[in-house]
């Protein structure tokens, strides 16, 4: 801030970091609105949500694969016992 020091009153009203401003705004939306407000989804949130969905789908595929592998192993064991 060019060597200037901000007093406590100004510090309460001025935030130089855009991330802090965004978080503060999102936190205050319910108090600023007269209607019920839907949640705001930032690009970062959408990306994380997409990654989470991808991970869940991958986990489901892995679980399905493991179940099938276990079923095949059980069939093999059954056949080996017969021999």
Answer yes or no: is pLDDT of 3 > 60. no
**pLDDT at site 38:** 67
Rounded to an integer, what distance in angstroms lies between the CA atom of residue 59 and that of residue 66?
10
Token output for 45: 């949130």
pLDDT in tens, 51-64: 999 999 999 999 99
Domain assignments of the chain as residue spans, ordered by start:
8-82
**pLDDT at site 60:** 97
**pLDDT at site 14:** 65
End-to-end, the C-alpha distance of the chain in Å comes to 83
Lowest mean pLDDT segment, chosen from 3-12, 32-41, 43-52, 53-62 = 3-12
pTM over 0.85: no
* Three-state secondary structure string covering 13-69: HCCCCHHHHHHHHHHHHHHHCCCCCCCCCCHHHHHHHHHHHHHHHHHHHHHHHHHHH
């Amino acid at each position: 801030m060019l060597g200037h020091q901000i007093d406590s009153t100004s510090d309460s009203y001025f935030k130089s970091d855009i991330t802090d401003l965004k978080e503060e705004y999102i936190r205050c939306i319910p108090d600023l609105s007269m209607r019920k407000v839907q949640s705001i989804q930032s690009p970062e949130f959408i990306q994380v949500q997409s990654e989470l969905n991808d991970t869940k789908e991958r986990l489901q595929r892995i679980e399905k694969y493991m179940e099938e592998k276990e079923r095949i192993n059980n069939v093999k064991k059954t056949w080996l016992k017969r021999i």
